[in-house]
Chain A
Amino acid sequence: MKDYEMVVGLEVHAELNTESKIYCNCRNAFGLEVNTQVCPICMGMPGTLPTLNEKVVEYAIKMGHALNCKINSVCKQDRKNYFYPDLPKAYQISQAEVPLCENGHLDIMVDGEEKTIGVTRIHIEEDAGKLLHDESFSGSLVDLNRCGVPLIEIVSEPDIRSSAEAKAYLDTIKSILQYINISDCKMQEGSIRCDVNVSVREKGAAEFGTRCEMKNVNSFSGAVRGIEYEAKRQIELLESGGKVIQETRRWDDAKGMSFTMRTKEDAQDYRYFPEPDLLTIVVDEEKIKALKASIPELPNKKVSRYVKQLGLSQIDATLIAEAVDKSKLFDECTALGKCSPKIISNWILADISKYSNDTGKSIIETPLTAQRLADLLAEVEKGSISNSAAKKVFEIILSDDKDPADIIKEQGLVQNSDTGFLEQLAKDILAENEKSVADYKNGKTNALGYLVGQCMKASKGKANPGIVKEIVTKMLTE
């Protein structure tokens, strides 16, 4: 078999979390009773007209800046015409020729390596409604609550070469949308969806192969599986002497297969033309600049910084950077400079993550401030309290909203590192445990752990375990 590579481009649709819809004043909300978040405008009643929600333009420009795009300060909206019962006007207002943002790029990290994926364009458009099917009624019903929910479509260049890159691209897009807080990105609510374009070619070939577009990819894991399936299908087709036909395919996630939806010959003609009911969008250059200034450090940049400057692993760096609350706590905590990034990262990904998973609370909403966490971990690193004591302090911070220093004092958790005291303690314990000492000397080295444990027990957990271990080891080998 020849050596093939896949070429993938992605179109991500993300619903924006503006208060109201894109062309009317209806609430932009999910999960409410069918056909309650509607008005004559989003239901496409005769004679109604759209008026543009300017927040949508602002949100899309923010994403444009986040993806390093050129912002087209002058652009228009176009009608995409097609018939479907969930589209009450029988056209979707979108942007065809000139999108609001174009020519951008996104840095992603795959296996510790950075890679840049081109972003062709980002445009604004309206979402359609939903058809409802159920055994309790015949035919189809339509829920128009989602009509007019604002969307951005982010189209990538065909720069993706593996399903892992696709996954990293999608995860990065999602974390950025959440970071700049323009989309809820709730996959299960359909607030972020993607279409996938896949082709394959022999490695090193200059030309792209024939591509297939895959629709109905409702999850990122579905996208990864769909890409792998489609690349394999195309390679097998080529290897068996066949040809790939340009077509749109439907991904069936349950079956793990894709099926032909329509071929190029019966491709729909959307008859795009400029939307005459809306004026040309003209965005003030000052506003574009101000929106750029409002973009925080983005998760992909954070990953890079955490790995390169703070020495975290890519996995840990990604886990922290992609969660807004975790990275906020991490950044604030490291900025205090009281303890190492590594210990902060360990605590955030272990105890703190466990706490928020168990309680369902964001770590931002708890009494654990960055200052308190840094104070606590500094004590651990200094050796003045033990790890198990630190866990106790952590729990009390959360339950009683107190500072670690006070808790350590009240609970008497300060570790005893006084070598004179610890030597006397070790001497006493060794004297009481002659059998274990003999075992150790006969090569049963795990007796060391037992003896250290006894010292700890005798000190009621306050002895510094590191120093105790050193002393006991020294005494046993003397």
Chain B
Amino acid sequence: MKLYEKTAFELSQMLKNKKCSAVELLGDVNERINNVEDKVGAYVTLNESAKSQAEAVDKAIADGREIHPLAGIPIGIKDNISTKGLRTTCSSKMLENYVPPFNATVAQKVADAGMVITGKMNMDEFAMGSSTETSYMHLTHNPHDTDCVPGGSSGGSAAAVAAGEAIVTLGSDTGGSIRQPAALCGVVGLKPTYGSVSRYGLVAFASSLDQIGPMGKSVKDVAMMQSLISGHDAMDATSKDIAYPDLLANLTDSAKGLKIGVPKEYFGEGIDDEEKQSVYNAIKLLEANGASIKEISLPSTEYAINTYYIIASAEASSNLARFDGVKYGYRAKDYDGLTDMYEKTRSEGFGDEVKRRIMLGTFVLSSGFYDAYYKKAKLVQRKISQEFSEAFSECDIIATPTVPSRAFKIGENIGDPLKMYYSDVCTVTVNIAGLPAVSMPCGKSSYKNMPLGMQFIADKFKEQTLLNAANAYENLVGGFDVISKAL
């Protein structure tokens, strides 16, 4: 078994016990990148200083210094998370040459832990999309079938884990952007509770919904990563000042006594039968091992997509206004005066999907429409949150499909925005309510054995409960077979 096929948890033990060095591990991952990156296209930028980071870890181990359990583990970081001195493009022409002068709080934590940053991962432009096809840079292909999309927007982050091009990655999730690609690429992806991971340095898409989270091969890997990146940050006013548990140390693996809620609205029309069936099978397996199942209802789910696109686009229209050609990023070559410079810069610098959302957001915030759209959406948001709160009074976690169907073909949905938006139907409610949720592999599609995904949702700041349940499932199925054999 090659090193890149192993989990971060296993590699952490190996590094500690000197079964391998950080430089060897990085070399193995780099070799894999050399072999498959042409077919996958997970990276936007490779980090040239990765080797020296790995050497520093080896030196620390050789010197007998105490190291973080994640030290030496190669990590890829989504290209909307600011990395000091390392280009951060958001996969947009607008920021094609933008090099941040500071680290995002999570990037700093990753660096402080001695993790080795392999590079920056491809994504939908400014995280707007569900297939990584809106990237200005290039396409990313699903490692299990390169004709298919990896999902999005954190498509590069998910594909890299499934391809073995990084051991773990960071993504960001505004409406499903970690969980949906995790499901389509067959990896584990955690969207943490809003406020548990600092957003400082994450280039904002929708500030009230965005959350950075980890992706990896196992529940243990995302548990380790989440404990590293979570915590209060004085630089982010929305970050919550509470005690965060050591998720790995407290991880359990039994389904016994677990109360699982199954909301009927997530198993209705529009969800493929094989998706539904694989989640039902998983629930039955958990039930057979001591979990109890309760059918629940979350009736406002049908309004979630509309609510999400109003709130997210409204915030995006304001957040992306700063890309105006004045201070950094792209500026149109020829223009006549200030207004013309603004118009040409933004027309040329943004792709179609970003412009679509800016226009939608500008519209819903306009005077005369604000009450009918934005204000109404905020009311529905409250209603959706209440329904989840009530549900969690009678269950520990809620189980649903992560996606309506397996990965679709590249080009299949790109001309149909509404169909593309619908691929987030099972995930957006979680962001609207600010909850934590994890997606994990759950069976295979009849089509080319493509991965299917199951989502667990827990109440706010109940990451431990959430990951314990996911870990129980992972143990019952004998671990997830993440690395693609199709490459």
Contact = CB atoms under 8 A, between A and B. Distances in A.
Closest 10 CB pairs of A and B: A90-B321, A271-B365, A276-B208, A276-B207, A47-B201, A46-B203, A47-B82, A47-B203, A85-B326, A90-B322
Q: State the majority secondary structure of interface residues on A.
A: loop
B20 to A, nearest CB: 34
B322 A46 contact: yes
Nearest to B325: A85
A273 B314 contact: yes
B237 interface: yes
A202 interface: no
Contacts of B236: 49, 51, 277
B102 A45 contact: yes
B450 to A, nearest CB: 34
Contacts of B338: 85
A143 B345 CA distance: 22
Interface of B: 80-82, 88, 90, 95, 98, 100-102, 104, 199-204, 206-208, 234-238, 314-315, 317-318, 321-324, 326-328, 338, 342, 362, 365-367, 370, 374
B318 A273 contact: yes
Nearest to B101: A40
Contacts of B326: 85, 88, 142
A45 B342 contact: no
Nearest to A90: B321
A273 B338 CA distance: 26
Interface in A231-245: none
Contacts of A400: none
A278 B101 CA distance: 23
A108 B365 CA distance: 40
A51 B321 contact: no
Contacts, number: 100
B321 A49 contact: no
A91 B366 contact: no
B101 A273 contact: no
A277 B236 CA distance: 8
Nearest to A268: B367
A356 interface: no
23 contacts: A45-B100, A45-B328, A46-B204, A46-B322, A47-B199, A48-B201, A49-B199, A49-B238, A51-B237, A83-B321, A88-B327, A90-B318, A90-B324, A91-B321, A271-B317, A271-B362, A271-B367, A273-B318, A276-B208, A276-B315, A277-B236, A278-B238, A279-B237
A209 interface: no
Contacts of B80: 47
Given A90-B324, A273-B314, 16 more contacts: A43-B327, A44-B327, A45-B102, A46-B90, A46-B203, A47-B81, A48-B200, A49-B237, A83-B321, A88-B326, A89-B322, A91-B318, A271-B362, A273-B365, A273-B370, A273-B374
B218 to A, nearest CB: 29
A50 interface: yes
Nearest to B195: A279
Contact of A271 (B234, B237, B238, B318): B318
Contacts of B234: 51
Interface residues of A, number: 28
Contacts of A50: 237
Contacts of B342: 83
Interface string A279-295: 10000000000000000
Looking at B101, B104, B321, the one whose CB has the most chain A CB atoms below 10 A away is B321
Contacts of B362: 271
Looking at A46, A269, A276, the one whose CB has the most chain B CB atoms below 10 A away is A46
Interface in A83-97: 83, 85, 88-91
Given A47-B202, A51-B234, A269 B207 contact: no
Contact of A79 (B101, B104, B318, B370): B318
B367 A51 contact: no
Contacts of A89: 321-322
Looking at A47, A48, A85, A279, the one whose CB has the most chain B CB atoms below 10 A away is A47
Contacts of B322: 44, 46, 88-90
A91 to B, nearest CB: 5
B314 A47 contact: no
Contacts of B365: 81, 271-273
Interface string A36-80: 000010011111111110000000000000000000000000010
A85 B321 CA distance: 12
A385 to B, nearest CB: 63
A269 B203 contact: no
Looking at A51, A79, A142, A276, the one whose CB has the most chain B CB atoms below 10 A away is A276
Contacts of B327: 43-44, 88
A277 B100 contact: no
A271 B366 contact: yes
Contacts of B366: 269, 271
A43 B329 CA distance: 14
Given A40-B102, A44-B327, A271-B365, A49 B200 contact: yes
B237 A277 contact: yes
A43 B202 CA distance: 16
Contacts of A44: 322, 327
